[in-house]
Amino acid sequence: MLKNKFFTTMILAAALTMLLAATAMAKEIVVMNGTGFEIHALALSPSESGNWGPDLLGDDILKPGEGLKINISGDANNWDLGAQDGDGGQVTFQNLDFRNASQITLHADGTGTLQ
């Protein structure tokens, strides 16, 4: 009886661990530049965070019509992307839900089309 209780507890613990691991998102998203301008800096942040992550482009430039694969990981449901052009102008794309998407096309008006 004690053995059965132990194994039942272990199975429940393993199931809970897998469930919690499944809630943390880790996926690749393609960011397409549909803004009409060159993006010189691109940053990602959970929507509830007050801080941007590092520049995802580094020294590269994302030209109109080009795409960039980025990796998203964490337990946030909604994300923000910040794009900056060569003159320092910025557009923020807010509350993006990437859970059922593999691509986003960024538009100059601050909207994004998820696919």
Six token digits for residue 62: 């994302």
Q: What is the pLDDT along the chain (115 residues), one digit of tens a residue?
A: 555 555 555 554 555 555 444 456 689 999 999 999 999 999 999 999 999 999 999 999 999 999 999 999 988 999 999 999 999 999 999 999 999 999 999 999 999 999 9
Tell me if residue 40 falls in helix, strand or coil.
coil
Q: In whole angstroms, what is the distance from residue 81 CA to residue 89 CA?
A: 14
What tokens were used for 56? Answer: 């995802």
- For the chain, which domains are there? 24-114 (2.60.40.2890)
Q: Look up the pTM and report it.
A: 0.78
67-74 and 79-84 beta bridge pairing:
unpaired
Residue keyed to tokens 């809970």: 16
pLDDT at 14: 52
Give the model's pLDDT for residue 2. Answer: 54
pLDDT on residue 54 = 96
* 92 sits in which H/E element: strand 90-96
- Per the CB < 8 A criterion, the answer to whether 112 and 97 are in contact is no
Neighbour count for residue 68 (Cβ, 10 Å) = 15
**pLDDT for the residue 40:** 99
Q: What is the pLDDT of residue 26?
A: 82
How many CB atoms are located within 10 Å of the residue 115 CB? 10
